[in-house]
A and B are shown apart, each in its own frame.
Chain A
Amino acid sequence: MNFTYIILIPLIPFVVFLLLGIYNKKIKPAVSGYIGVTGLSTSTLLSFYTAYQYFFVHGKVNGVYQTLVHKTTWMNFTDTLAIDMGVLVDPISIMMLIVVSIISLMVHIYSRGYMKGDEGYTRFFAFLSLFSFSMFGLVLAANLFQIYIFWELVGVSSYLLIGYYYTKNSAVAAAKKAFIVTRFADLGFLIGILMVGYYTGTFDFETLNNPEGSAILNWASTSFMGLSVITWALILIFIGGAGKSAMFPLHIWLPDAMEGPTPVSALIHAATMVVAGVYLVARLFPMYYFVEDGFALNIVAYVGAFSSLFAAIIAITQTDIKRVLAFSTMSQLGYMMLALGVSGYDGHEGVGYMASMFHLFTHAMFKALLFLGAGSVIHAVHSNYLKDMGGLRKYMPITNATFLIAALAISGVFPLSGFWSKDEILVAAFEHNKLIYGVGVFVAGLTAFYMFRLYFGIFWGKNTQYKHAPHESPLSMTFPLIVLALITVFSGFIPFSEFISADKIGFETHINYPVALLSSFVAVSGIVLATIFYKKENDLSDKFAKAFGPLYKWARDKFYFDEIYMFVTKKILFNSVAENIAKFDKKIVDGTMEGIGNKTVVVSEKIKRMQSGKVQDYAFAFIAGVVIIALVFIYMLGN
């Protein structure tokens, strides 16, 4: 079966982007919305068609899902290393196509209502299409080089989308922060790629991931500081993934990125871009698993578990509803990472890998639903803060119902999708690492608690008096909510393990009753506790906050991580280093130039000063430079 046609899936949004970008001014806003939705609908249909073809018709040969690569040699970089461009079709890339296309389509539809009347409506749809294109490209990339290109493109387009409200200073700052922080993480990714390329002689995933291939078998041949070079490379690549997926301590950009329009948060920060890091680790999973007995994979597991816990604690204390969701996302991404981290490879051993992908899928749906629901609420009350909300269930029944479904799902309540995927993750952790399992269960309880704190705070709680009675959002906004809610209810019953597994053979899963019962019990306890605290207006929560005093404050201020980073970048890098350099440049280098042209009186004196010395200063530096370099190296040569 030839899957070459799937190149159309990214190409269609790209063409839409060009169209909307070039004819920005000439296209009516309403039309541009239709163009965007039509383009993405086509991509979505193609994705579903591909999934059907792959999973049910052509993909399976002798019980094993095939990795199909359609590629051409793009460039012969050196005599031994060629760089290809192509598309890679395997179970996880197809699954990601489905996730990205569904969410993107829903966000497109939703935005038609949410962004209505906004200046630059067309521009917004152009950026959405650009983002969809980049994300599809990332998913389908056949080698490390290609994935890196799209990885950066995703960064650029999300920068544009977060900074969309460019009149809002905080949005602009957030966009820049997100871009720069993830760029720093990509630094690791880039060097990791170069190392892999150099030591294995290939960038292709197919070759790299072959368990019998030289890339995996020869990992021990080179070492650096006690570890295999390949292990180092994998750790560096994981740093890149951690940046995009907001793992501790590279998470600081995610809460700020909530400044962007809410549909953007649903698309980028819930379902697509942030899972790119998880996808990257999954993409290279055989390497992570086999090289040096999974040393790098252990790091993934612990970073994931810690981030998951860390973010869940912070989420309890936030009062901006989008920030609660942001930390919740970080926590759930940690879940996916830890699932990959504890996974094995063969058959049922690989349940962690399967569970991670399963959770990626279900989480994408219900988290997008939560964000879009939050957007609907924000749209109605014009505020992001819990203090301005309460009692909204009377005004917004659809939003209320769908939000409740999503909240139950993320808490892991039977039989919603979140229950199934979370349960598999906990099973994997239970079987491989009891400590991580403990963290996972605890986080499950926290998740249920903060989610229902949020839910009750918005839809129940105090009876806020609204100046203008809030009303339910238009159909273009509620329709996506309903669709995603249906997916959330039913997608748990998809037999994921038959389609997606580390060794691509497929296996059957059964509920592990002790694990499932314990996690359900914890989740329900969390919900009950939240109900007591927040369903009716009372001062219980304040009392608790007081009781925990400093701990509460500490968590509310996100453990001061932003401040630490600010201190390092602002105080040290900018104020101490760059400032002084700027001063040096201003005073010494620039000094003579200043004032020339506008202060004619001063000019002559300045010229005099220039003649008397500055070029000599340069000459001195020049000669000193030569002499020092020469002396140092001749001395070294002598030894």
Chain B
Amino acid sequence: MNFSNFLLMRHEILLLAITLLLLVGEIFIHKNKKGSLVHLAIFLFGIHTAVGFLQIEESSLFGGMFRTNNMIHFFKNVLNIGVFILLLQSAEWLQEKIVNQDRGTEFFILLFSSLLGMYFMISSGDFLMFYIGLELSTLPVAALAAFETSKRISSESGIKLILSAALASGVSLFGISMLYATSGSIYFNEIVEVISASNLTVLGFFLFFAGLAFKISLVPFHFWTADVYEGAPISVASYLSVISKGAAVFILMILMFTIFKPLMHVWENMVYVVAIATMFIGNLFALRQQNMKRFLAFSSIAQAGFILLGLITGTQLGVATIVYFVLIYIFSNLAAFGVVQAISLKTGKENMDDYNGLYRTNPNLSLVMMLALFSLAGIPPVAGFFGKFFLFTAAASKGYYLLVFLAVVNVTISLYYYLLVIRAMFIRKNENPIPFFKNKLYMRLGLLITVVGILVLGLYSPLYDYIYELSSFLN
């Protein structure tokens, strides 16, 4: 056995090591300085994120169960960056509410296990590894959603998530077993050679698809989203809407563009219908939301609908535009959630009306929020515009003009409700607005990174060129 092979699993091993270090570290941390556990976690994860950018070989392990290449590597880095920002934004919450109760390590173990699951899911070379990764990525999040044990709404959120997730992964597993039945293998590279559009295979595919569609919150598998986001701690809602969704999109895209490519004539119609339903349902529900977390939940459903415009193409351009879009989406959504988090932590307020007159008292937070919403709405020159424009171009390049038209209609609807928040912050008057407060360093850093991302990612073209190059692995 050549141990250097394990270097291929560098991401996974390192993350595991960090988790263990934190476990041990907690013992040594002085009682009065419990907060330093958070510093340690951020420091270690920062190193992990940085190290992730080192080049890696393209190869596979365990007889093809685990594989990695530059694109997969890139995906993991994207997730790392997202989690890193998330940690920065959650630091204060963790220090004030969680670490004091000696539950800090618990939080990190759960969070990092889930991330580990995503790594494995993305790197999977067969359905077994995929399934293990899927479960590992979901179950800890359910525990995290129920993390604020003092709040009933949080427990409810956890229960809802675990029940829905169990159902989804069960359905997915059922689908996988059908695929095994028709192809006689669970290895991706073997399945792709024998797969054909028989009824059983197609049924298997749909069941499998439903499992991932659940994680991405596509209609009609989205019902859990708003309830869970509303109840869960904001960091966890943010994680679900950004990291978890991103990872699921990546693996779904890989599988649909490789092993299920021969079924494309079947699934492109389905993606078409699901895309339209997802965009419209997400947007129309978002129109009248008052709670910011519910609001962002529906907005994130609508955003997932846009991703399908790239998925439907099945081309290299589709891959590149999806990855680019997801990357930008991570930054924009983290910025929005970050502001909600900051305000909720300081004042406990989560309703849109509470944001009235925010610009007067907290101009910087309002500006961050405005940029985030502009980016989500796709207004140039912020990054979100480029992400959307390119997705639309990809769909148009395959002649899906009607779909693009409907998508643009949805962009306009979404603009309306994003403007509602902006109006609340900048224009509406408020007798007792949220008072001025100063964020701690970590939060400011977390927001700053997202703002830089929103401003720069769209205009910095080498990034897209790089992603486009990586996307060629599918051909």
Chain A residues at the B interface, C-beta cutoff of 8 Å:
74-78, 145, 148-150, 152-153, 156, 163, 166-167, 172, 176, 179-180, 183-184, 187, 190-191, 194-195, 197-198, 574, 577-579, 581-582, 585, 589-590, 592-593, 596-597, 603, 607, 610, 614-615, 617-619, 621-626, 629-630, 633-634, 636-638
Cβ contact of B408, chosen from A76, A191, A581, cutoff 8 A: A191
- Residue contact A593 to B409, C-beta cutoff 8 Å: no
For residue A145, which residues in chain B have a CB less than 8 angstroms away from its CB?
389
The CA of A579 and the CA of B393, in the complex, are separated in Å by: 33
B residues 363-421 in Cβ contact with A at 8 Å: 374, 379-381, 385, 389-390, 392-393, 396-397, 401, 404-405, 408-409, 411-412, 415-416, 419
- Residue contact A78 to B317, C-beta cutoff 8 Å: yes
- Residue contact A607 to B427, C-beta cutoff 8 Å: no
- Residue contact A624 to B269, C-beta cutoff 8 Å: no
For residue A585, which residues in chain B have a CB less than 8 angstroms away from its CB?
226, 285, 288-289
For residue A191, which residues in chain B have a CB less than 8 angstroms away from its CB?
396, 401, 404-405, 408
Q: A187-B412, A195-B401 are in contact. Are A76 and B221 (CB under 8 A)?
A: no
For residue A615, which residues in chain B have a CB less than 8 angstroms away from its CB?
159-160, 163-164, 224
Cβ contact of B465, chosen from A76, A614, A619, A633, cutoff 8 A: A76
Considering the complex, give the chain B residue whose CB is closest to the CB of A83.
Answer: B461
Q: A77-B390, A149-B385, A624-B220 are in contact. Are A633 and B287 (CB under 8 A)?
A: no
Surface stretch bound by A, among B83-91, B203-211, B431-439: B203-211
- Residue contact B167 to A603, C-beta cutoff 8 Å: no
Q: A153-B381, A593-B227, A625-B220 are in contact. Are A618 and B408 (CB under 8 A)?
A: no
Not counting A593-B231, A597-B153, A634-B202, a sample of 15 additional A-B residue pairs whose C-beta atoms are within 8 angstroms of each other reads: A75-B461, A76-B465, A148-B380, A166-B427, A191-B396, A191-B404, A577-B284, A581-B288, A607-B156, A619-B164, A624-B220, A630-B206, A630-B207, A633-B206, A637-B202
B61 at the interface (CB under 8 A from A): no
Considering the complex, give the chain B residue whose CB is closest to the CB of A580.
Answer: B284
Residue-wise interface mask of B (243-287) relative to A, using a CB-CB cutoff of 8 A (1 in contact, 0 not):
000000000000000000000001001100110000000001101
Residue-wise interface mask of B (414-455) relative to A, using a CB-CB cutoff of 8 A (1 in contact, 0 not):
011001000100110100000000000000000000000000
- 17 pairs, A vs B, C-beta closer than 8 Å: A78-B317, A152-B385, A153-B381, A156-B374, A191-B404, A191-B405, A585-B288, A593-B156, A597-B153, A610-B156, A619-B164, A621-B223, A625-B220, A633-B202, A633-B269, A634-B202, A637-B202
For residue A634, which residues in chain B have a CB less than 8 angstroms away from its CB?
199, 202-203
- Residue contact B415 to A597, C-beta cutoff 8 Å: no
B195 at the interface (CB under 8 A from A): no
For residue B288, which residues in chain A have a CB less than 8 angstroms away from its CB?
578-579, 581-582, 585
B10 at the interface (CB under 8 A from A): no
B residues 114-167 in Cβ contact with A at 8 Å: 151-153, 156, 159-160, 163-164, 167
The CA of A626 and the CA of B415, in the complex, are separated in Å by: 31
The CA of A615 and the CA of B164, in the complex, are separated in Å by: 7
- Residue contact B393 to A176, C-beta cutoff 8 Å: no
The CA of A176 and the CA of B408, in the complex, are separated in Å by: 18
B residues 299-328 in Cβ contact with A at 8 Å: 316-317
For residue B411, which residues in chain A have a CB less than 8 angstroms away from its CB?
187
Most chain B CB neighbours (cut-off 10 Å) among A596, A622, A626, A634: A626
The CA of A78 and the CA of B153, in the complex, are separated in Å by: 48
The CA of A592 and the CA of B227, in the complex, are separated in Å by: 9
Most chain A CB neighbours (cut-off 10 Å) among B171, B202, B288: B288
- Residue contact B269 to A636, C-beta cutoff 8 Å: yes
Cβ contact of A597, chosen from B151, B266, B274, cutoff 8 A: B151
The CA of A617 and the CA of B224, in the complex, are separated in Å by: 10
The CA of A592 and the CA of B230, in the complex, are separated in Å by: 12
Considering the complex, give the chain B residue whose CB is closest to the CB of A620.
Answer: B223
Considering the complex, give the chain B residue whose CB is closest to the CB of A167.
Answer: B429
- Residue contact B396 to A195, C-beta cutoff 8 Å: yes
The CA of A635 and the CA of B171, in the complex, are separated in Å by: 20
Chain B residues at the A interface, C-beta cutoff of 8 Å:
151-153, 156, 159-160, 163-164, 167-168, 171, 197, 199, 202-203, 206-207, 210, 214, 219-221, 223-224, 226-227, 230-231, 266, 269-270, 273-274, 284-285, 287-289, 294, 316-317, 374, 379-381, 385, 389-390, 392-393, 396-397, 401, 404-405, 408-409, 411-412, 415-416, 419, 423, 426-427, 429, 461, 464-465, 468
Considering the complex, give the chain B residue whose CB is closest to the CB of A582.
Answer: B288
Q: A76-B465, A194-B392 are in contact. Are A629 and B284 (CB under 8 A)?
A: no
* Chain B at the A interface: SS class: helix
* Chain A at the B interface: SS class: helix
Q: A194-B404, A589-B226, A607-B156 are in contact. Are A622 and B168 (CB under 8 A)?
A: yes
Most chain B CB neighbours (cut-off 10 Å) among A167, A630, A634, A636: A630
- Residue contact A153 to B380, C-beta cutoff 8 Å: yes
- Residue contact A593 to B230, C-beta cutoff 8 Å: yes
For residue B416, which residues in chain A have a CB less than 8 angstroms away from its CB?
180
For residue B203, which residues in chain A have a CB less than 8 angstroms away from its CB?
630, 634
- Residue contact A626 to B206, C-beta cutoff 8 Å: yes
For residue A624, which residues in chain B have a CB less than 8 angstroms away from its CB?
220
Cβ contact of B167, chosen from A179, A619, A636, cutoff 8 A: A619
The CA of A179 and the CA of B418, in the complex, are separated in Å by: 13
The CA of A590 and the CA of B411, in the complex, are separated in Å by: 25
- Residue contact B393 to A197, C-beta cutoff 8 Å: yes
Q: A585-B285, A607-B152 are in contact. Are A149 and B381 (CB under 8 A)?
A: yes
- Residue contact A152 to B206, C-beta cutoff 8 Å: no
For residue A578, which residues in chain B have a CB less than 8 angstroms away from its CB?
284, 287-288
For residue B392, which residues in chain A have a CB less than 8 angstroms away from its CB?
190, 194
For residue B156, which residues in chain A have a CB less than 8 angstroms away from its CB?
592-593, 596, 607, 610
- Residue contact B397 to A198, C-beta cutoff 8 Å: yes
- Residue contact B404 to A152, C-beta cutoff 8 Å: no
Q: A187-B409, A619-B167 are in contact. Are A163 and B199 (CB under 8 A)?
A: no
For residue B153, which residues in chain A have a CB less than 8 angstroms away from its CB?
593, 596-597
For residue B464, which residues in chain A have a CB less than 8 angstroms away from its CB?
75, 77
For residue A179, which residues in chain B have a CB less than 8 angstroms away from its CB?
415, 419
The CA of A581 and the CA of B171, in the complex, are separated in Å by: 28
Most chain B CB neighbours (cut-off 10 Å) among A166, A167, A622: A622
For residue B404, which residues in chain A have a CB less than 8 angstroms away from its CB?
191, 194
The CA of A622 and the CA of B172, in the complex, are separated in Å by: 12
- Residue contact A183 to B227, C-beta cutoff 8 Å: no
The CA of A583 and the CA of B273, in the complex, are separated in Å by: 25
For residue A153, which residues in chain B have a CB less than 8 angstroms away from its CB?
380-381
For residue B152, which residues in chain A have a CB less than 8 angstroms away from its CB?
596-597, 603, 607
- Minimum CB–CB distance for B166 against chain A, Å: 10
The CA of A519 and the CA of B46, in the complex, are separated in Å by: 75
The CA of A617 and the CA of B401, in the complex, are separated in Å by: 35
The CA of A577 and the CA of B426, in the complex, are separated in Å by: 28
Most chain B CB neighbours (cut-off 10 Å) among A180, A596, A618, A636: A618
Considering the complex, give the chain A residue whose CB is closest to the CB of B464.
Answer: A75
Considering the complex, give the chain A residue whose CB is closest to the CB of B315.
Answer: A78
- Minimum CB–CB distance for B460 against chain A, Å: 10
